[in-house]
């Protein structure tokens, strides 16, 4: 099939996620390798966002591919009630990299499913119903996971799919502090408010957080935030769920982002980089104390593909590859370089309000006016299908062969951890040129 035929079949027979279905004209990708992919016409693209912040090992890692093939020949499927060697090996490999004490494992096939399991486990283990989430968050598309999602995708389905019991807390988003305060004089009010909120709400089973917010801005918390959240949740007997679907697997220079702040959650969820996204695998890991709640009580969760051997063997290979290539250290060093280069770009472009990041995970927030911090577009405009300025920027980058996620009014820069400095420089040069689009739309402040 040629590219036009592939596009026509897919467009006319498939749903596409998170958008109006009309007017979809997908690019046809034919192959991918390392930090790059090619379309059906042979044009090459630098993958500056790991597709959906997923292909941490790059495209087509040979060791992971071989693990998939070998497992497919030996044992392609077993029901979750059986033990398999792939399951045992994956479990042991994971226990070496997960935070100490988070060592009871439930496998699924996506981050959404991992969070759905975590929420059900937390409610069942505690006997309580409420979950504290945050406004700038995304935790998945199924009923419970979308209900704890703070951004506009929840609003689109709220009346049809809402699971009751979610209450939202303020974000640790210093650039747009919800209290109008300035760090460090704020005394981390966003964390301290949680103590009051849990006390007043009552019946709180858990709090779910992305330790480093993903799609909604790559928001890195101040050093005091997560440790204080951990103290407050422990004080109230509330389970802490760390959603590490994006921030795990070396993305921020550690196996998991919580390691940066020496915080151990009660439940950790992850996916994507666990296999380098070469096969779907999700993980919900808990402490023994959470697991103990079900020793004499019914565990109310499961599915056909839980602990699927074909997904578990490549997880072992992926962990070995992260180590062999020393990608955690590389992410730390290249992340420092990336952030310094982005700050140079910020200094040249009045449309850049803030750059922020940790490891090879960064955001470039675009604004009409640096003084007012007014964004070019809003979530409501995105949901309404209105043309967005950010799409003009990403479109210009695609014309130059660089794929980068644009979300409402910011860019997500998250290349594969194997990216070279030359590739980083190329992607940043293309970004630098594309920002001429937003610079031309800057609105001067009243003071000139």
The predicted model scores a pTM of 0.97
**Three-class DSSP category at 407:** strand
**In the prediction, which pLDDT does 42 show?**
97
Which residues pair with residue 44 across a beta bridge? 38
The C-alpha angle with vertex 197 and arms to 194 and 202, in degrees rounded to 5, equals: 125
Backbone angles phi and psi of 281, in degrees to 5: -150, 130
Provide the token pair at 433: 């040129």
Q: What is the DSSP string of 133-198?
A: EESS----SSHHHHHT--SHHHHTTHHHHPPS-EEEE----GGG-TT---TTTTTTHHHHHHHHHH
Radius of gyration for the chain, computed over Cα atoms and rounded to the nearest angstrom: 22
Which residues pair with residue 354 across a beta bridge? 365
Long-range CB pairs of 333-336 (<8 Å, 24+ gap) are 334/360, 334/417, 334/419, 334/421, 334/424, 335/252, 335/253, 335/359, 335/360, 335/361, 335/362
Which residues pair with residue 24 across a beta bridge? none
| Among the listed residues 250, 308, 242, the one whose alpha carbon sits nearest the alpha carbon of residue 270 | 242
Cβ atoms < 10 Å from Cβ of 84: 19
Backbone angles phi and psi of 165, in degrees to 5: 115, 0
Cβ atoms < 10 Å from Cβ of 10: 13
Which residues pair with residue 107 across a beta bridge? 283
Q: Distance of alpha carbon 162 from its chain centroid, rounded?
A: 22
**In the prediction, which pLDDT does 426 show?**
98
51, exposed or middle or buried, with CB in 10 Å at 0-12, 13-18, 19+?
Answer: middle
CB 197 within 8 A of CB 167: yes
Cβ atoms < 10 Å from Cβ of 333: 14
Q: Render each residue's pLDDT in the chain as its tens digit; 448 residues.
A: 999 999 999 999 999 999 889 999 999 999 999 999 999 999 999 999 999 999 999 999 999 999 999 999 999 999 999 999 999 999 999 999 999 999 999 999 999 999 999 999 999 999 999 999 999 999 999 999 999 999 999 988 887 788 999 999 999 999 999 999 999 999 999 999 999 999 999 999 999 999 999 999 999 999 999 999 999 999 999 999 999 999 999 999 999 999 999 999 999 999 999 999 999 999 999 999 999 999 999 999 999 999 999 999 999 999 999 999 999 999 999 999 999 999 999 999 999 999 999 999 999 999 999 999 999 999 999 998 899 999 999 999 999 999 999 999 999 999 999 999 999 999 999 999 999 999 999 998 754 4
Helices (H), 183-283: 189-201, 225-235
Provide the token pair at 354: 């803030």
Backbone angles phi and psi of 368, in degrees to 5: -70, -35
Q: How far apart are CA 370 and CA 351, in angstroms?
A: 7
Residue 148 to residues 151, 237, 370: CA-CA distances in angstroms?
9, 19, 31
Which residues pair with residue 39 across a beta bridge? 29
**In the prediction, which pLDDT does 446 show?**
53
What does DSSP say about strands 130-134 and 374-375: parallel, antiparallel, or unpaired?
unpaired
Q: Which residues, at least 6 apart from 383, have a Cβ–Cβ distance to it below 8 Å?
A: 152, 155, 156
Domains of the chain: 3-57+326-439 (3.90.1150.10), 62-324 (3.40.640.10)
Q: How far apart are CA 240 and CA 234, in angstroms?
A: 8
Q: How far apart are CA 98 and CA 288, in angstroms?
A: 13
Q: How far apart are CA 140 and CA 428, in angstroms?
A: 30
Provide the token pair at 229: 């959240």
Provide the token pair at 421: 């400095």
CB 357 within 8 A of CB 49: no
Residue 163 to residues 116, 205, 397: CA-CA distances in angstroms?
11, 14, 39
CB 238 within 8 A of CB 206: yes
């Amino acid at each position: 099939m040629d590219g036009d035929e592939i596009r026509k079949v897919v467009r006319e027979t498939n749903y596409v996620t998170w958008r109006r279905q009309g007017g979809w004209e997908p690019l046809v990708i034919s192959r991918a390798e390392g930090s790059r992919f090619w379309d059906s016409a042979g044009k090459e693209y630098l993958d500056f966002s790991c597709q959906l912040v997923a292909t941490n090992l790059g495209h087509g890692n040979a060791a992971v591919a071989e693990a998939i093939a070998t497992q497919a020949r030996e044992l392609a499927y077993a029901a979750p009630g059986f033990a398999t060697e792939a399951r045992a090996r994956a479990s042991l490999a994971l226990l070496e990299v997960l935070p100490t004490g988070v060592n009871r494992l439930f496998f699924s096939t996506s981050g959404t499913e991992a969070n759905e399991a975590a929420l059900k486990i937390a409610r069942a283990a505690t006997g309580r119903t409420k979950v504290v989430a945050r406004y700038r968050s995304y935790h998945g598309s199924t009923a419970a996971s979308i209900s704890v999602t703070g951004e506009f995708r929840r609003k689109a389905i709220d009346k049809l799919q809402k699971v009751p019991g979610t209450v939202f807390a303020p974000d640790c988003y210093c650039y747009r502090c919800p209290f109008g305060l300035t760090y460090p004089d704020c005394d981390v009010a966003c964390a301290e408010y949680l103590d009051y909120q849990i006390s007043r709400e009552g019946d709180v089973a858990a709090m779910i957080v992305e330790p480093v917010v993903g799609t909604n801005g790559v928001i890195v918390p101040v050093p005091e935030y997560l440790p204080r959240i951990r103290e407050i949740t422990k004080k109230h007997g509330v389970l802490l769920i760390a959603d590490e679907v994006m921030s795990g697997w070396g993305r921020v220079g550690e196996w998991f982002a919580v390691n940066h702040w020496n915080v151990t959650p009660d439940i950790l969820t992850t996916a994507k980089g666990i296999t380098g996204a070469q096969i779907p695998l999700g993980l919900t890991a808990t402490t023994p104390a959470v697991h103990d709640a079900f020793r004499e009580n019914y565990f109310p969760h499961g599915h056909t593909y839980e602990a699927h051997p074909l997904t578990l063997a490549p997880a072992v290979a992926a962990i070995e590859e992260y180590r062999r290539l020393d990608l955690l250290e590389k992410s730390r060093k290249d992340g420092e370089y990336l952030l310094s280069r982005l700050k140079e770009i910020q200094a040249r472009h009045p449309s850049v309000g803030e750059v922020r990041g940790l490891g090879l995970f960064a955001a470039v927030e675009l604004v009409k006016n640096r003084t007012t911090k007014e964004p070019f577009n809003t979530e409501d405009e995105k949901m309404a299908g209105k043309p967005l300025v950010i799409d003009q920027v990403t479109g210009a980058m695609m014309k130059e062969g660089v794929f980068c996620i644009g979300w409402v009014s910011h860019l997500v820069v998250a290349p594969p951890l194997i990216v070279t400095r030359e590739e980083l420089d190329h992607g940043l040069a293309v970004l630098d040129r594309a920002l001429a689009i937003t610079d031309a739309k800057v609105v001067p402040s009243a003071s000139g």
